[in-house]
Amino acid sequence: MTETYRRILLASRPEGLVTEGNLEVDDSATVPEPADGEALVRVRYLSIDPTIRTWMNDAPGYLPPIGLGDVVRSGGIGEVVASRSPAYPVGSQVFGLTGWQEYVLAQGGAMTVLPEGVEPGAVLGVYGTTGMTAYFGLFDVGGITAGEAVLVSGAAGATGSVVGQLARIADASRVVGIAGSAEKCAWLVDELGFDEAINYRTEDVAARVRTSLPGGADVFFDNVGGPILDVGLANLAMHARVVLCGAISQYNEDRPTGPRNYTNLIFKRARMEGFLILDYMDRFPEAQLQMAGWVTEGRIKHREHVVDGLEHAGEALNLLFSGGNTGKVVVAL
Amino acid sequence: MTETYRRILLASRPEGLVTEGNLEVDDSATVPEPADGEALVRVRYLSIDPTIRTWMNDAPGYLPPIGLGDVVRSGGIGEVVASRSPAYPVGSQVFGLTGWQEYVLAQGGAMTVLPEGVEPGAVLGVYGTTGMTAYFGLFDVGGITAGEAVLVSGAAGATGSVVGQLARIADASRVVGIAGSAEKCAWLVDELGFDEAINYRTEDVAARVRTSLPGGADVFFDNVGGPILDVGLANLAMHARVVLCGAISQYNEDRPTGPRNYTNLIFKRARMEGFLILDYMDRFPEAQLQMAGWVTEGRIKHREHVVDGLEHAGEALNLLFSGGNTGKVVVAL
């Protein structure tokens, strides 16, 4: 007897936020049998990342667009339920590109077996691409050194919240975050050790950044783009580094806005640099080990925003753009 | 008997191009007597640079704005006609911030005495800030290495024309320039050794850049900003460096346009970096010596666009923005 399983397919390309019509819930696929060297994985958690939204566009990027009718591409964690590969023992937890679906086949080397006892939320967050993005973005691309001032946008998100805490660990002179609610700002200051947090929905961000960083930011870690990127560019210290991590305010826009203040890079002899975490995968183990130490010491705290049900994955993705989440968004299946 | 001399004062701040009403020709100032340690310089040539236009704005920059009623700040060359300083012998040619005026006092160390026999146009161009900007921008900020492809905007200008030739000397795989007339493009390709030159007034720049640099630009040296910066950002090679030298298309704009394609810096793991040539002044001698060797060998060619008469300095400055010049703009007094 064949068993079927649920998958979320990309039915049409979204304009702006993802709507119900963009996704198709398909219950007709047959659970596959693993071939030699493969394992069958029951997916348990999905990692909801802004980059998924960019893959839905029919535009060249660092990975090909998700094809119409294809399962939505996504990182996730699952459990090996059948195996014909010694690399994936039955019962083990694995991490990799699972897609938005209940089952996936793990082929040789494509997934990572997790050590026992690690929290899935932490694996997808601080130890996953979002935490790694914070780590390599701040240390490698941003080149932060002790005594420097750091500005982080999207500060209550999965990456931004880790950036601020890492800046603290790196002995930054000042850590200022920009976030979208009073509750988020309180979390940043009271629990994560940010010096100041600015609520961009209710405050004059330009004025607040000017007063909270009178000497400008040595490192500006930008997750959002748009007007907030411009505020950051207007408040750079000499020889500043702007780390371009994302542009979450722009991914849903037809015609993204460019940063008018980019010429300040000239006057401040500053640099704006993009990166993709894919390039750092061979250095993840080193960074994850260090991160694990800080998590154990309580110097890195993390929070997950869990959405229940595969059928709500689209809404979970939209949370990132409406700012409805604090910390890492995860879908539990 | 006191002698008077002519000066050009900033009467009001320009909006867009400089108009007659923005400048005041003043013939009433008295030629000063050098005090002990000073010399009196008769100004002979002015270096006309885009940055002068930025100094006319009432906006913070890397130097304070020119005050209303003050002489327009400018580099220039003059001859020492009276001296009470052993550093400035009468009859010597000196280079420094002369301003738009017929006479200036050289105070201790503020001006550089030129070796005999050097051409004033070359001093202001290839050996001056424009040539040095090309040298340090391409080699230090751009970090060009042999075999890389280079795109230069404002390529027929004083800096851009040197950038392309330096790229050739650095064994670039391909050197493509963007300029504003067929005559300029012919000069770039036929005389300066560019592989291709694109006329932005008559051609589809985006399409031409795509076909002339199919692998993208490893170094994009941008002098102009605006839509051309966006075309360059859309055509970057992996790990490209965008050297922000200027934004000549934007200096006259009230609300400059930001580059919409800046997010391509993320996908291409690329960097956009600004610099000011002031920071490299202690390394000018090294670079000028090397440049002199290349000029002597005929590997660096230069052209000056000479405008006669101090009273035409404002029009000379406007040439930079209308694209009316090829090579370095100089005013001869």
Element counts in chain B: helices (H) and strands (E) = 10, 15
% of chain B exceeding 70 in pLDDT: 99
B225 vs A: CB within 8 A: yes
Residue B220 has a CB neighbour count (10 Å cut-off) of 30
CB within 8 Å: A261 and B258: yes
Helix ranges, B73-216 (H): 120-124, 129-136, 158-169, 182-186, 205-212
Q: Is the pLDDT of residue B154 over 80?
A: yes
Residue B165 has a CB neighbour count (10 Å cut-off) of 24
Quote the CA–CA distance of B30 and A169 in Å, as a whole number: 62
Q: Is the pLDDT of residue A81 over 80?
A: yes
* Min Cα separation A226/chain B (Å): 10
CB within 8 Å: B273 and A272: yes
Q: Is the pLDDT of residue A6 over 80?
A: yes
| Facing A276 at nearest CB: one of B225, B269, B271 | B269
Complex-level ipTM: 0.84
| Mean pLDDT value across chain B | 94
Per-residue pLDDT of B63-82, as tens digits, reads 899 999 999 999 999 999 99
The DSSP bridge partners found for residue A103 are A42
Per-residue pLDDT of A253-273, as tens digits, reads 777 789 999 999 999 999 999
Q: Which pLDDT belongs to residue B28?
A: 95
A275 vs B: CB within 8 A: yes
Q: Which pLDDT belongs to residue B248?
A: 81
Q: Which pLDDT belongs to residue B30?
A: 96
A294 vs B: CB within 8 A: no
Tell me the whole-structure pTM to 2 decimals: 0.87
Rounded mean pLDDT, B112-122: 87
Residue A212 has a CB neighbour count (10 Å cut-off) of 18
B293 vs A: CB within 8 A: no
Quote the CA–CA distance of A253 and A15 in Å, as a whole number: 8
Report the first-to-last Cα separation within chain A, whole angstroms: 24
CB within 8 Å: A267 and B62: yes
Name every chain A residue with its beta carbon within 8 A of the beta carbon of B258: 230, 257-262
Q: Which region among A241-255, B140-154, B298-312, B317-331 has the lowest average model confidence (pLDDT)?
A: A241-255
DSSP-derived secondary structure for A147-209: T-EEEEESTTBHHHHHHHHHHHHTT-SEEEEEESSHHHHHIIIIIT--SEEEETTTS-HHHHH
| Facing B269 at nearest CB: one of A250, A258, A274 | A274
Say which DSSP state B34 is in: P
Q: Is the pLDDT of residue B271 over 80?
A: yes
Quote the CA–CA distance of A181 and A267 in Å, as a whole number: 33
SS3 percent helix, strand, coil of chain B, rounded to 5, is 30, 30, 40
H or E element, residue A212: helix A205-212
Name every chain A residue with its beta carbon within 8 A of the beta carbon of B266: 244-247, 274-276
Q: Which pLDDT belongs to residue A247?
A: 85
Q: Is the pLDDT of residue B278 over 90?
A: no
Report the candidate in A102, A77, A103, A122 with the shortest Cα–Cα distance to residue A310.
A102
A281 vs B: CB within 8 A: no
B50 band by pLDDT with thresholds 50, 70 and 90: confident
| Facing A274 at nearest CB: one of B247, B259, B266 | B266
| Facing A266 at nearest CB: one of B244, B259, B268 | B244
Q: Which residue in chain A has the smallest CA separation from B230? A: A258
Quote the CA–CA distance of B228 and B243 in Å, as a whole number: 13
State the count of interchain CB pairs (< 8 A) between A and B: 96
Tokens 């810096």 label which residue? Answer: B265
A12 vs B: CB within 8 A: no
The DSSP bridge partners found for residue B7 are B26, B101
- For the record, the structure tokens of B127 come out as 């050996």
- For the record, the structure tokens of B261 come out as 């394609």
Spatial CB neighbours of B24, under 8 Å, sequence gap ≥ 6: B8, B9, B10, B11
Q: Which pLDDT belongs to residue A1?
A: 54
Q: Is the pLDDT of residue B139 over 80?
A: yes
DSSP-derived 3-state class of residue A136: helix
- For the record, the structure tokens of B186 come out as 């012919």
Report the candidate in A219, A50, A226 with the shortest Cα–Cα distance to residue A129.
A50
Q: Which pLDDT belongs to residue B1?
A: 55
B260 vs A: CB within 8 A: yes
CB within 8 Å: B262 and A263: no
- For the record, the structure tokens of A51 come out as 């980059």
Interfacial B residues in 56-95 facing A (CB < 8 Å): 61-62
Residues A227, A256 contacting (CB under 8 angstroms):
no
SS3 percent helix, strand, coil of chain A, rounded to 5, is 30, 30, 40
Quote the CA–CA distance of A155 and B180 in Å, as a whole number: 44
Rounded mean pLDDT, A308-323: 95
* Min Cα separation B225/chain A (Å): 9
* Min Cα separation B269/chain A (Å): 4
CB within 8 Å: A258 and B225: no
Quote the CA–CA distance of A24 and A260 in Å, as a whole number: 39
* Min Cα separation A314/chain B (Å): 24
Q: How, if at all, do strands A103-106 and A39-48 pair?
A: antiparallel
Report the candidate in A305, A333, A290 with the shortest Cα–Cα distance to residue A131.
A290
Q: Which residue in chain A has the smallest CA separation from B280? A: A269
Q: Which residue in chain A has the smallest CA separation from B272? A: A272
CB within 8 Å: B262 and A258: yes
% of chain A exceeding 90 in pLDDT: 83
Spatial CB neighbours of A169, under 8 Å, sequence gap ≥ 6: A294, A299, A300
Q: Which pLDDT belongs to residue B118?
A: 83
* B4-122+302-332, CATH topology level: Quinone Oxidoreductase; Chain A, domain 1 (3.90.180)
Rounded mean pLDDT, A85-112: 93
| Facing B265 at nearest CB: one of A62, A230, A273 | A273
Q: Which pLDDT belongs to residue B125?
A: 92
Per-residue pLDDT of B7-29, as tens digits, reads 999 999 998 899 999 999 999 99
Q: Which pLDDT belongs to residue B189?
A: 98
Amino acid in the structure at residue B83:
S
Name every chain A residue with its beta carbon within 8 A of the beta carbon of B269: 274-276, 279
* Residue B239: C-alpha distances to residues A247, A277, B220, B297, B312 (Å): 19, 14, 11, 33, 44
Q: Which pLDDT belongs to residue A16?
A: 87
CB within 8 Å: B272 and A268: no
Quote the CA–CA distance of A263 and B60 in Å, as a whole number: 12
H or E element, residue A229: helix A226-233
Q: Is the pLDDT of residue A60 over 90?
A: no
Q: Which pLDDT belongs to residue A67?
A: 97
* Min Cα separation A54/chain B (Å): 11
Q: What is the domain class of A4-120+302-332 according to CATH? A: alpha beta
Rounded mean pLDDT, B161-170: 98
B255 band by pLDDT with thresholds 50, 70 and 90: confident
The DSSP bridge partners found for residue B196 are B176
* Min Cα separation A274/chain B (Å): 4
CB within 8 Å: B271 and A272: yes
Name every chain A residue with its beta carbon within 8 A of the beta carbon of B259: 258-259, 262
| Facing B276 at nearest CB: one of A260, A266, A272 | A266
Strands (E) across chain B are located at: 4-10, 23-30, 39-48, 75-83, 93-97, 103-106, 112-113, 149-153, 174-179, 196-199, 217-222, 236-244, 271-274, 304-308, 328-332
Per-residue pLDDT of A180-199, as tens digits, reads 999 999 999 999 999 999 99
A12 band by pLDDT with thresholds 50, 70 and 90: very high
- Looking at domain B129-278, which CATH architecture does it have? 3-Layer(aba) Sandwich (3.40)
Rounded mean pLDDT, B181-204: 97
Quote the CA–CA distance of A207 and A186 in Å, as a whole number: 19
Phi, psi angles (nearest 5°) of residue B108 = -40, 115
Domain ranges for chain B = 4-122+302-332, 129-278
B143 band by pLDDT with thresholds 50, 70 and 90: very high
CB within 8 Å: A260 and B256: yes
Per-residue pLDDT of A283-294, as tens digits, reads 988 999 899 999
Name every chain B residue with its beta carbon within 8 A of the beta carbon of A230: 258
B273 vs A: CB within 8 A: yes
